[in-house]
Amino acid sequence: MREFFRRKRRIVLVLVLLIGGGMSIMAYNEKDKYFEIAKNLDIFAAFYRELNTYYVDELPPEKVMRKGIDAMLEETDPYTDFIAEENLDELKFMATGKYGGVGVSVNTDSERTVITDVYEGGPMDKAGVKPGDIILSLDGKDIKGLDQEDISRLLKGAPGSSLDMVTKHPITGDQNNKKIIREEINVKAVSFSGMTSQDIGYIRMTQFTENSGERVQSAFTELKKQYPGMKGLILDLRGNPGGLLDEAVIVANIFVDKNKTIVSTKGKVKSWDREYKTESPAVDAHMPLVVLTNRSSASASEIVAGAIQDLDRGVIIGQRSFGKGLVQTTRPLPYNAKLKVTTAKYYTPSGRCIQAIDYSHRNSDGEVELTADSLRKSFNTVAGRKVRDGGGIEPDNAVDPTLLSQVAITLLRKQYIFDFATQYYYSHPKIAAASTFALSEEDFADFIKYLDGRNYNYKTRSEEALETFQATARKEKYYDAVAKEFEALQVKMKHDKKQDLLKNKTEIKRLLEEEIASRYYMQRGRIEKSLSSDNEVTTAIAVLHSPERYQQLLK
């Protein structure tokens, strides 16, 4: 027995020494790290002082220091950033969705600046400004030659301030002088809510800003009230870049009952680690739910989609999401500047982090890569379904994204679809409801005529691939041997622009109808018109109309 206690004491002593030694090493490492930080700060300050004193030319302090800050930020992720006092409005907009301005979007090139969208109920809308109007000057300044950023800066300003604007009518050429009073523009978190079919509701959410969860809840409650026979809901988070984490929890709480974990955060400062749970009873914890995602659904969108998937509360349809599992916090800096810094990673209820890129590990050239599929770990949903970390939210039912043809991309880029819609608007006083509006064959023929004599040259993807082959073959000295065959293939593949218009008629007609619908019914009309030809929405409706298929996806 004595021998046993002697042995036990020896083991305890070894453990104490090991633990104590480990703590000493940790303490030493921490001390060493802070010494290195202090040392390098001293070197940096001395280096700048000497450089500024003795360098032959003047060095602008703000510019030099900003380059130093930018160089440090290159070692972090794209979301960690320095925000100068003059740029705080951008930070405010990201959090609140509010900015001081006139409520328009513009497109500018070397020839003209055109108003492309007018925010419903905003100052420009109240002043009677229409999409298609051409801006000539702002506050007496000719804007020809200014880039988009400069024009945007002139349009924005403090609520209550005035803007003198001269525009030209796109059809008559008449000039109009307008005095616009800027207001606080609150970009809607819910850009559309309605019914996609007789019994399936639809809500499109564009961002997670202050009170956005409340707005989604109001939209859902109103749909249930107006359509008591509603049998399912589509929550569209495609293209939603995210925003406030708290708002994501509120949105999830609409469909998930009280006291359920939605997301947890873990970072370097352990006292900041937190678990976020639903705080209220769900508005509806049972109605079949589909969440739509794509490659541009990020951050807070992925928190909602991940929680809905992990808790088996609904089905995810579309494409894999972006994969941003990083949490940012703002820290105050002198002179009203801010540091927006990544402080944690977030984890879905199953315990997975869906961050797709590990910015702490870079290649020798400094580049970062997506997490390899072989390194992604598996986790289980509440019902036992397998889900994986490290690469965004994978849909339960994948749908290939809709890709536009080269001719359609060119017509959009050249603004020909936009300009034709402007002409159509001024020659047709009214149209049918957005959901039922359709161009006639005669209308499409008019569009073909409208394009006569207009330059919209482009290369098809096949032609681009052929040119790449030609360049490679020349480089590798094979081209001479296949030159005749190549030239024959080139002739066969040469596209006919008019035939391409007819071949892609359905796609081009859809784009025209959406643009025209937006002229009469604004952004809501564009979305409403697009739903009938939306592959992901059509798939979601089919799943919600089939209880067997819906349940199968949840198993």
- The residues assigned a catalytic role are 299, 310, 324
| Rounded Cα–Cα distance for residues 246 and 304 (Å) | 11
Alpha carbon 364 to chain centroid, angstroms: 30
**Residue found by looking up tokens 């984490």 in the block:** 245
**Residue found by looking up tokens 């359609």 in the block:** 408
Return the number of other C-beta atoms located less than 10 Å from residue 150's C-beta: 14
Helix (H, G, I), strand (E, B) or coil at 172: coil
Give alpha helix (H) positions in 184-236.
Answer: 212-226
Helix (H, G, I), strand (E, B) or coil at 308: helix
Alpha carbon 320 to chain centroid, angstroms: 13
Is the separation of the CB atoms in 282 and 224 below 8 Å? no
| Rounded Cα–Cα distance for residues 234 and 290 (Å) | 5
| Rounded Cα–Cα distance for residues 337 and 343 (Å) | 18
**What b-and-e string marks burial along 391-415, b requiring 16 or more CB atoms within 10 Å of the CB?**
bbbbbbbebeeeeebbbbebbeebb
CA dist 418 → 422, 440, 455 (Å): 6, 18, 15
Among residues 90, 136, 97, which one has the least CA distance to residue 115? Answer: 136
Is the separation of the CB atoms in 301 and 318 below 8 Å? no
145 backbone φψ class: left, alpha, beta (φ>0; ψ -120 to 50): left
**162 pairs with which residues across the strands?**
181
